[in-house]
Amino acid sequence: MDLRRPVGSEENRYDLHGGVPFWLVRNGIEPPHAPLDADVKADVAVVGGGITGALCAHHLSEAGIECVVLDARGAGLGSTCASTALLQYEIDTPLHELTQLVGTTHAVRSYRACWDAIDELQAIAKRVGHRGLERRPSVQYASRHRHVEDLRKEALLRSVHGMMTTFEQGSGCRAWLPFDVPAALRTEQAAEMDAWRFTHDLQRFDRERGVRIFERTPVLSVEENSVGVLLRTKGGYSVRAKQCILATGYEAHGTLPKDVVRLHSTYAFASGPGTSKQPWPERALIWETARPYLYLRTTPDERLIVGGRDVPFRAPAMRDALLDRKCEALLKDVRRLMPELDLDREFSWCGTFGSTKDGLPYIDRASKRSRIWFALGMGGNGIAFSVVAAGIIRDTMLGVRNPSSSLFRFDR
């Protein structure tokens, strides 16, 4: 399997995001991991040192499986550092629509897997000493009056399937939101985090117990045979392992067994500190029913992070050229909702992300008996899918049944 496109070529190295991602400024630079400078062996080779690769390595090393992680960039410098990191169990396709696409059992199990992923992320954060994860309520509001009935239906369906969700209409929503809306749905099963910090905290913890991490090590190819896999790196070294996980994020696009992912450009900004001191009930995560959706969260230093205004992705330069215009439009979107808010834009950035026809990720092997796994989170809750991917892959490697393993196959 050829992994050179698109990461191997120099001109594409930094093409997953543009502008100034807030988290990179906030966190500064971490001590780098060295590039690979010798041939190595491990049980599992993880390609990609973003949040997905870090979670896969964490799950495997917990189970006593020896891992090596290789990243073409610095760890977390792909989509992970651009993530606005709202942790929500909601998949981009509402449950009542997903049931039509994949059937009720499949849809409910997919939602439940993401629900559980929030608790699991919190437990991992605690275990590795990550302090940036905070529980928050998540509130989705009806952007238009004609969305109200669908939102009511959605709240009821989720509650019926054990995912407790509250629905409110008119002035009742003001207890949850800092602006007026026709109706809203609220869940307590949500959190916010700093995905870049979390990835580095996780990797620091796992290095202590033997996970080897190599940065600036593009993997050019992966070959497999009946006993294992052989990876070749741009530096001329090889990695031999029993299995390989491609946690290569949206750059996996060109290597998938099927053309199943559509790429989009998305935009975000962080305001100056102190903005969210103004009434913001329980620092809720807020998003809407319109597509593409506007979303808002707060940060520990009381900034607002606002995101949305997605458009189909064509090229990094075209995505970046729209940055200022798109973030100005996001600013106006928030000012329309809260004209009294003293809001500015301190950091603006954009990124590429992938979506699928049903909003579900692909977590599967390249073919039925392949030793090469894809761990691909997609859409607005990609991080929840990263946790789900790490659990499915670990369990399958250990020969343990995982109830989610059939949900995210290429042939679904």
Q: Which is nearer to ligand FAD, 2 or 340 (CB)?
A: 2
Kindly give the residue spans of alpha helices, DSSP state H, lying in 86-194: 95-102, 104-128, 148-160
In angstroms, rounded to a whole number, what is the distance separating the alpha carbons of residues 382 and 403?
19
Q: Which is nearer to ligand FAD, 8 or 228 (CB)?
A: 8
Q: 313: phi > 0 → left, psi -120 to 50 → alpha, else beta; which?
A: beta
Q: Which is nearer to ligand FAD, 55 or 407 (CB)?
A: 55
Phi/psi for 214 (5° steps) reads -120, 125
Q: Which residues contact 123 (CB under 8 A, 6 or more apart)?
A: none
Q: How far is the CB of 376 from ligand FAD (least distance, A)?
A: 7
Q: Which is nearer to ligand FAD, 182 or 292 (CB)?
A: 292
Q: How far is the CB of 170 from ligand FAD (least distance, A)?
A: 28
Q: Which is nearer to ligand FAD, 337 or 384 (CB)?
A: 384
What is the contact surface with ligand FAD in residues (CB under 6 A)?
3, 7, 16, 47-53, 70-73, 77-80, 82-86, 195, 218-219, 247-249, 251, 266, 268, 307, 351, 353, 377, 380-384, 386
Q: How far is the CB of 57 from ligand FAD (least distance, A)?
A: 11
Nearest CA-CA partner of 114 in 387, 408, 406: 387
Q: How far is the CB of 233 from ligand FAD (least distance, A)?
A: 8
Q: Supply the DSSP symbol for 146.
A: G
Q: How far is the CB of 91 from ligand FAD (least distance, A)?
A: 11
Residue nearest to ligand FAD as judged by C-beta position? 382
Q: 263 with 250: CB under 8 angstroms? A: yes
Q: Which residues contact 281 (CB under 8 A, 6 or more apart)?
A: 175, 176, 177, 178
Q: Which is nearer to ligand FAD, 16 or 148 (CB)?
A: 16
Q: How far is the CB of 90 from ligand FAD (least distance, A)?
A: 10
Q: What is the 3-state secondary structure (H, E, C) of 55-106?
A: HHHHHHHHCCCCEEEECCCCCCCCHHHHCCCEEECCCCCCHHHHHHHHCHHH
Q: 201 with 3: CB under 8 angstroms? A: no
Q: Which residues contact 146 (CB under 8 A, 6 or more apart)?
A: none
Q: Which is nearer to ligand FAD, 21 or 165 (CB)?
A: 21
Q: How far is the CB of 136 from ligand FAD (least distance, A)?
A: 12
135 three-state secondary structure? strand
